[in-house]
Chain A
Amino acid sequence: DTVLTQSPALAVSPGERVTISCRASESVSTLMHWYQQKPGQQPTLLIYLASNLESGVPARFSGSGSGTDFTLTIDPVEADDTATYYCQQSWNDPWTFGGGTKLELK
């Protein structure tokens, strides 16, 4: 299975820029997608196909990368962005998720 590795946690101050990384154990082309999960809620789609912003998602969120290295950027971070962020690949079967990066605001 394709393993997606994310840093477990990050802490930033409101107004700062934050990058969340996701590294794949093998190439996933650009079939990488990002989700946000706030405490007690279901995940929601943020970015699809590595860099496409889902409708209704603030332009503060952006994605980049291809192959094995991907990044989700939030600039500037707001207090409401406190959540866990997951990457997911759909290039290789089975579809897999990263372990999640918990973003905390200072």
Chain B
Amino acid sequence: EVQLVESGGGLVQPGRSMKLSCAASGFTFSSFPMAWVRQAPTKGLEWVATISTSGGSTYYRDSVKGRFTISRDNAKSTLYLQMNSLRSEDTATYYCTRVTTVADYFDYWGQGVMVTVSS
């Protein structure tokens, strides 16, 4: 059974940093691209970042470029999101997702972790 379990969220002040983790199990982690998708309170879904199977290629939405870094450790089957210079508009539930190799859609989602940016 595929499982994605996020951790590391909480309350953080504007301008500070936070690192999210996602522990994956039930599949060959190194064979799949992975992504983070977020959802602000009462809002819709928003793609944040994607990483290739090896970690050699990364992609970001414009609003987080230069502030967020997606990375992975295939030996530990773990995905990360380092978030720096956090803003109030980054407040959201962050979902770890598996990306299919067929056509770039998200076939498995974690339960999500809440990040609140507030003073």
A residues neighboring B (CB under 8 Å): 31, 33, 35, 37, 41-45, 48-49, 54, 86, 88, 90, 93-100
Greatest chain A CB density within 10 A among B106, B107, B111 is at B106
A/B pair count, beta carbons within 8 Å: 56
Jot down 29 A-B pairs with beta carbons below 8 A, ordered by A: A31-B103, A33-B103, A35-B106, A37-B45, A41-B111, A42-B111, A42-B112, A43-B106, A43-B109, A45-B105, A45-B108, A48-B102, A48-B103, A48-B105, A86-B44, A88-B45, A88-B105, A88-B106, A90-B103, A90-B104, A93-B59, A94-B59, A94-B62, A95-B104, A96-B47, A97-B44, A97-B45, A100-B44, A100-B45
Q: In the complex, what residues of B have CB within 8 A of residue A95's CB?
A: 47, 104
